[in-house]
């Protein structure tokens, strides 16, 4: 982050460059903004003060060295900036009353109730950002902006929209929070299922923003960081842990998941020695820890499926019947055609392609290219080469990237490509 | 404290399964209980149910003259059927009331914040 170095006067000191400050900015922004919103009841005032505090840091730290607790320093400085501004502004006191909507109410149980041992304003903030009264687009944008500390321009780039469009989206969302008085509170237990769902969905969406986004590595890192924060703050919510485990296990395969040209490597063809064992162990430990926490939800089930894959040294050694059983459970709680498709693929591994094909054929997924790729694969294995070729054609026509299209046109599997090349 | 409009929209010509007399009575009873709860918690400002849209009349000033026409103003299939104006701490509190209303009358409820005239 920053290197210990020797000063010209001979004393050891930390050299703090702009890069270090911006890294600290990314890490501490959400915590500071969340704490300032709680103190001052206004998002814009909090953001302005925290940004000002970082501007002060950029001036001071390179000369003075890094304070022992940079995050705490930023929050304290921002708090002083905000108080100064309020004093200076004649209407400060009046304004404070108006914006007091975001200040926790005395009788609000979300205020009194501490979240486990850790009380963190970031939890309030993410529930405000992901309030179901906001559109999913607004939820994602606000979460990245306020918790992730991304600039509006960075958020816009992440989702491939114009900066002006994104700026307007964020302004509108903040306006709605103020006008409709979306509160700054942790939902009560009975509200939690409905309120947690969009929070987890936003984090999952960030991770999967995908190769279409130039900020993809940042978004993946940010999603995992947020999932970690959430699972620390809500240790008793198995689905929060499930989401973190799912992201860690998915991330463990990242290096082997795509070719240099960006095309996808199927699970069965990945070089498993390149899987990240540390991430796998962390993810699997979470799955094991929550095994007896009652019926698992969709994130935990997907994590469990990935944990089984991670256990197998080769695709042939995969415990497919366990995977089928997990997909049965997943389909019971989340009966979507995509889950049904993956369940059919697993059944194909246990009972063979003849059992899987009719399950695939009955799905209404004509616009989803993995559906055609799966059909193609099953048809190929059944020796129905012409039909397989036609299905690969359809998959290729729907695939999102050129690398993907070329790959599917060649038969969608490395072994098929090899055969075609003979 | 803030004010919210909880509005109930009806769709013109939409055929709903007719309620039996008993169901009607039960529905009114439940609405009565809910409104009593709103009143006792000092949340209710005003509530009302509106006649069909073809009973509405529009008044507008055109070239300095009063022009009165058959309403409603908005030519749409959906129209305001009834409303509650409530006072609540924040959106979550308003949504809790909206949930209760929606469960009772089995219709979607739209929750609109009022502009605070003091600001």
Task: Please judge whether B2 and A98 are an interchain contact, meaning their C-beta atoms are less than 8 angstroms apart.
Answer: no
How far is residue A87's CA from residue A81's CA, in Å, rounded to a whole number?
10
Tell me the residue ranges of DSSP E strands in A316-399: none
Give the per-residue pLDDT at A128. 94
Contacts 24+ apart (CB under 8 A), B64-71: none
A98 touches chain B (CB under 8 A): yes
Which residues does chain A have within 8 Å of residue B91's beta carbon, measured at their own beta carbons?
131, 133, 180-183
Both structure tokens of A381: 């294995």
Task: Please judge whether A133 and B91 are an interchain contact, meaning their C-beta atoms are less than 8 angstroms apart.
Answer: yes
CA dihedral over A211, A215, A217, A223, signed as positive or negative: negative
Give the per-residue pLDDT at B23. 87
- Render each residue's pLDDT in chain A as its tens digit; 422 residues: 344 444 444 443 456 777 888 888 888 898 899 999 998 889 999 999 999 999 999 999 988 888 999 999 999 999 999 998 888 875 555 655 555 556 554 444 333 333 333 357 888 999 999 999 999 889 999 998 998 888 888 888 877 789 999 999 999 999 999 999 999 988 888 888 789 989 999 999 888 875 556 666 777 888 898 899 889 888 889 999 999 999 999 999 988 888 887 777 888 889 999 999 999 999 999 999 998 888 999 999 999 999 999 999 988 899 999 999 999 999 999 999 999 999 999 999 999 999 999 999 999 998 898 899 999 999 999 999 999 999 999 998 888 777 777 777 766 554 554 444 33
Interface pTM, i.e. ipTM: 0.85
User: A187: which DSSP letter?
Assistant: P
User: A159: which DSSP letter?
Assistant: T
CB within 8 Å of A33: residues ≥ 6 apart: A43, A46, A47, A50, A125, A146, A147, A149
- Domains within chain A, CATH numbers bracketed: 4-102 (1.10.1740), 117-215 (no CATH), 336-421 (1.25.40.10)
Which stretches of chain B drop beneath a pLDDT of 50?
Answer: none
Give the per-residue pLDDT at A411. 63
Give the per-residue pLDDT at A98. 56
- The number of C-alpha atoms within 13 Å of A119 and in the hemisphere containing its C-beta is 8
Task: Please judge whether A105 and B89 are an interchain contact, meaning their C-beta atoms are less than 8 angstroms apart.
Answer: yes
**Minimal C-alpha gap between B119 and chain A (Å):** 7
Using left for φ > 0, alpha for ψ between -120 and 50, and beta otherwise, residue A412 falls in left
- Domains within chain B, CATH numbers bracketed: 2-113 (3.30.70.1060)
Give the per-residue pLDDT at B106. 87
Give the per-residue pLDDT at B11. 77
Q: Considering just the CA atoms, what is the radius of gyration of chain A in Å?
A: 25
How far is residue A144's CA from residue A126's CA, in Å, rounded to a whole number?
10
How far is residue A123's CA from residue B9's CA, in Å, rounded to a whole number?
35
User: B2: which DSSP letter?
Assistant: E
Residue A262: strand pairing partners: none
Chain-centroid distance of CA A28 in Å reads 18
**Minimal C-alpha gap between A108 and chain B (Å):** 10
Q: Provide the Cα torsion A46, A51, A52, A55; round to 10°.
A: 160
Both structure tokens of A407: 């790959």
Give the per-residue pLDDT at A117. 30
Give the per-residue pLDDT at A72. 92
How far is residue A157's CA from residue A151's CA, in Å, rounded to a whole number?
10
Q: Which member of A98, A181, A187 has the closest CB to residue B90?
A: A181
Q: Which member of A131, A181, A187 has the closest CB to residue B2?
A: A181
Give the per-residue pLDDT at A105. 47
């Amino acid at each position: 982050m920053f290197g210990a170095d020797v000063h010209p006067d001979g004393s050891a000191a930390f050299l703090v460059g702009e890069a270090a400050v911006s890294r600290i900015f990314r890490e501490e922004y959400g915590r500071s903004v969340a704490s300032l919103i709680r103190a001052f009841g206004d998002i814009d005032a909090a953001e302005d003060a925290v940004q000002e505090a970082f501007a002060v840091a950029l001036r001071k730290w390179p000369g003075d060295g890094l304070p022992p607790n940079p995050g705490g320093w930023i929050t304290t400085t921002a708090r002083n900036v905000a108080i100064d501004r309020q004093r200076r502004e004649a209407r400060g006191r009046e304004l404070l009353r108006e914006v007091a909507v975001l200040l926790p109410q005395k009788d609000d149980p979300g205020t009194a109730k501490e979240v486990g041992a850790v009380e963190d304003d970031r939890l309030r903030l993410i529930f405000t950002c992901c309030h179901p009264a906001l559109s999913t687009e607004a939820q994602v944008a606000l979460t990245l902006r306020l918790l992730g500390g991304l600039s509006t321009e960075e958020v816009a780039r992440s989702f491939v929209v114009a900066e002006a469009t994104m700026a307007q989206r964020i302004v509108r969302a903040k306006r709605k929070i103020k006008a409709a008085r979306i509160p700054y509170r942790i939902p009560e237990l009975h509200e939690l299922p409905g309120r947690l769902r969009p929070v987890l969905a936003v984090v999952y969406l960030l991770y999967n923003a995908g190769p279409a986004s130039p900020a993809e590595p940042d978004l993946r890192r940010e999603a995992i960081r947020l999932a970690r924060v959430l699972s620390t703050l809500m240790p008793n919510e198995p689905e929060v842990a499930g989401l973190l485990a799912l992201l860690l296990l998915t991330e463990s395969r990242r290096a082997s998941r795509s070719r240099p040209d960006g095309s996808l490597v199927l699970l069965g063809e990945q070089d498993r020695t390149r899987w990240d064992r540390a991430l796998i162990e962390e993810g699997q430990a979470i799955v094991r820890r929550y095994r007896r926490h009652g019926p698992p939800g969709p994130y935990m089930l997907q994590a469990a499926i990935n944990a089984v894959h991670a256990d197998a040294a080769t695709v042939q050694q995969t415990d497919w019947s366990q995977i089928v059983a997990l997909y049965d459970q997943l389909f019971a709680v989340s009966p979507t055609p995509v889950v049904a498709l993956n369940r059919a693929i697993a059944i194909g591994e246990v009972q063979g392609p003849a059992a899987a094909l009719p399950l695939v054929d009955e799905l209404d997924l004509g616009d989803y290219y993995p559906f055609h790729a799966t059909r193609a694969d099953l048809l190929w294995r059944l020796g129905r080469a012409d039909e397989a070729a036609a299905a690969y054609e359809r998959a290729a026509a729907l695939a999102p990237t050129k690398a993907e299209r070329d790959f599917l046109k060649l038969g969608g599997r490395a072994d098929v490509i090899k055969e075609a090349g003979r | 404290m803030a004010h919210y409009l909880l509005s109930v929209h009806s769709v013109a010509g939409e055929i709903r399964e007719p309620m039996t007399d008993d169901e009607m009575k039960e529905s009114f009873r439940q609405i009565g209980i809910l409104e009593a709860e709103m009143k006792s918690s000092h949340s209710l400002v005003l509530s009302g149910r509106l006649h069909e849209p073809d009973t509405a009349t529009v008044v507008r000033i055109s070239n300095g003259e009063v022009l009165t026409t058959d309403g409603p103003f908005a030519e749409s299939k959906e129209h305001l059927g009834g409303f509650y104006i409530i006072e609540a701490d924040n959106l979550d509190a308003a949504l809790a009331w909206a949930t209760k209303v929606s469960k009772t009358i089995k219709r979607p409820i739209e929750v609109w914040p009022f502009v605070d005239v003091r600001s």
